[in-house]
Structures are given as structure tokens and as C-alpha cells.
Amino acid sequence: MRLITFVAQGRQRVGALLDEDTTVVDLTAAAPDRPEFGSMLALIESGPAGLVRAAELVAARPTTALVDPKAVRWCAPLPRPPRVRDCALFTEHLAVALREMARRQAAAADDPDAAFDQLIASGRFTLHPLFAERVLYYNVDPLAISGPDDTIAPPEDATELDYELEIAAVVGRDGRDIAPDDADGYVFGYTICNDWSARDLQLKLMQTGVGAGASKDFSTTLGPCLVTADEVPDPYALAMRARVNGEQFSLGSTASMTHTFAEAIAQFSRIGGVYAGEVIASGTVASGTGFDAGRHLKPGDIVELEIDGIGTLRNQVSL
């Protein structure tokens, strides 16, 4: 199923897309007495039984619960996930991005080339071997989740907004000490993630050595829908694209991942466990930012991230 969260009659609802995404079955309205349709998180936590009930409603297509998707406001499929980890499942992008950060930091020096060589020699802008050995991640603020067609504004004192093209897996059930061979069975579904960055602020903050902080936490966009795992035969063979005002800026593939979602789930389950509804974002695919290409977003730009089998996540940069 292709599941969405949307607002109708003043409240959030859970729906399933039909007819090539031209119709929505409002699951909340179709079964108002069923707690599993109170929110997307409730549906995920209800387990296989909830999905079976949802599939029955989709098959029945109750006419009183059919909605025009263009007539309602879509939200992030999981507006308030219990946890979000942004991982380095793609490592190729990181190596390129670190060198570009060093080059930009060195640009203000009297001898930029010499300053760049010194920064690279410091090791701070070279990808650490640990990235290839295990899944590294940082925690994303789950209170700063945005959705399809939301307008995205940079944080205070930042002007250089950038997109990051990512795929995310949503965990379907709680688990601890999960065997790697069993970890795929813990994926509920997949969505698109735009891990927005304020590049000018990020470059300043990273010089402190304490991380990106406010340059990342202002907004992370998920959507447009949450596609259940059974509808994604191979999550590691999906084309990924980013367009700005209709022009393609980025092209990549999930085939270039260094680590899989199963590896991430198995690793995380050994340290505190994983929980139904938590989001595991992949990190950025190679070439998946404007920063990589030396291109900058402008106020009013329309950014579209597209992944085969999931859809297109669209947002506008604030004016």
C-alpha cells in the first residue's frame, strides 16, 4: 500500500492511495472505531493485523471514504516519529562533500591552494575508515519534521539553503539483538527524505568540531507517502533524482549504498533497540545536493526529490 497522512475537516487522517495516486481511501473515516487508523504511528504499531484491516478497506473502496488527494493538505506520512536517525549508508557523497567544505573554508585564505592542502593534511576533511566499517549516524530533531509542499525557510543568520536527496526506511516493530538475516523483516516501508542544510551556517559550526547543530535541525522533510515494504521488491535498485524549478540537478541510485538498512537495523538493535515508527534515513546519495554541484538555491525555488516507486517530494524555498 501507498499510505499518506493528510488533513481533512480539521484533523489529521490516515489514507491509502489508489488508482495511480488519483484517489485516497480515508481509512480514519472508513473505520472511525478502529484505533489503528487514528494516526500513521498507530497503524504501524498495530502490526500485521492493522495492515490486513487496511487492505480490506482498500479492497472495499467505501464510497463515503473516497477523497480527492488534490482537495486535501498532505502532511509528512509520519508527522511526529518517535526517533529519526540520519545515517551514512552512502559514503561516496561524504568523501566529496568533505573536500568541498575544505575548499570553501580555504577560499578566504591569502593562498587558498596552500590552505586547502593544510586542511586536507589535518585529516579533518578526509573520510574516516570507520564509515566503511559500521553505520554512523546523527540524531535528527523529530519535532522539526515537515511534509510535502511545505515552504522551507533557513534558520536565523543563515541564507544558503540546500537540499539533500535521501531515502528512508521506517521500522515496523520493536526489536533488540536482531540477527542481520532477520533485519529486513523489521522494515515497515520506505519514504523520501530531504535533509535540508543551511550551508553557510554549517561551515561555520563545523569549524568548532561539535557538529552541524542548528544548520541541520530546522527542518527535515518526509513524503510524499509511505510505501509498504511488500511494494518495493528491491530497495537497492531505485533511481533517485533531484530537480530545481524543473531542471535536474542530481541523479543517483540506491544501488550505490555502502551499507543497507538491514545492517543499520541490526546494529542499532544491539544498542538500545529499535522501535516501531522510528525513521532511518540513508544519508545523501552521491551528487545528491546542490552543494556537490556548486549550485545554490534561491528564494522561491521549487525543489523536487523523486525516487522510483515512491513518488516526488516537492517543497518551495521561502521568499
Q: Which of 46, 75, 104 is the last residue in one of the domains?
A: 75
Angle at 121 between CA 201 and CA 109, to 5 degrees: 50
d(CA 319, CA 317): 7
Is 112 domain-assigned? no
> How many Cα atoms are found within 13 Å in the side-chain-facing hemisphere of 45?
14
Closest residue by Cα to residue 265 from 89, 129, 94 = 89
Alpha helices in the chain (DSSP H): 27-30, 40-45, 48-60, 92-106, 112-121, 130-133, 199-206, 261-269, 290-293
Do the domain assignments include residue 23?
yes
Per-residue pLDDT of the chain (319 residues; tens, 9 = 90+): 999 999 998 999 999 999 999 999 999 999 999 999 999 999 999 999 999 999 999 999 999 999 999 999 999 999 999 999 999 999 987 777 777 777 777 787 888 787 777 877 787 777 788 888 999 999 999 999 999 999 999 888 888 899 999 999 999 999 999 999 999 999 999 999 999 998 888 777 666 655 566 777 889 999 999 999 999 999 999 999 999 999 999 999 999 999 999 999 999 999 999 999 999 999 999 999 998 878 889 999 999 999 999 999 999 999 8
Task: Provide the Cα torsion 312, 64, 40, 23; round to 10°.
Answer: -10
Question: CATH code at 292?
Answer: 3.90.850.10
Number of domains in the chain: 2
* Same-domain check for residues 151 and 41: no
In terms of domains, do 64 and 172 share one? no
- Report the DSSP beta bridge partners of residue 2: 227
Residue 22 sits in which domain range? 2-75
Burial letters 79-97, b for 16+ CB under 10 A, else e: bebebbbbbbbbbbbbebb
Domain boundary among 40, 75, 110: 75
Cα separation values, 209 from 97, 109, 174, 202, Å: 16, 20, 34, 11
Distance CA 171, CA 277 (A): 5
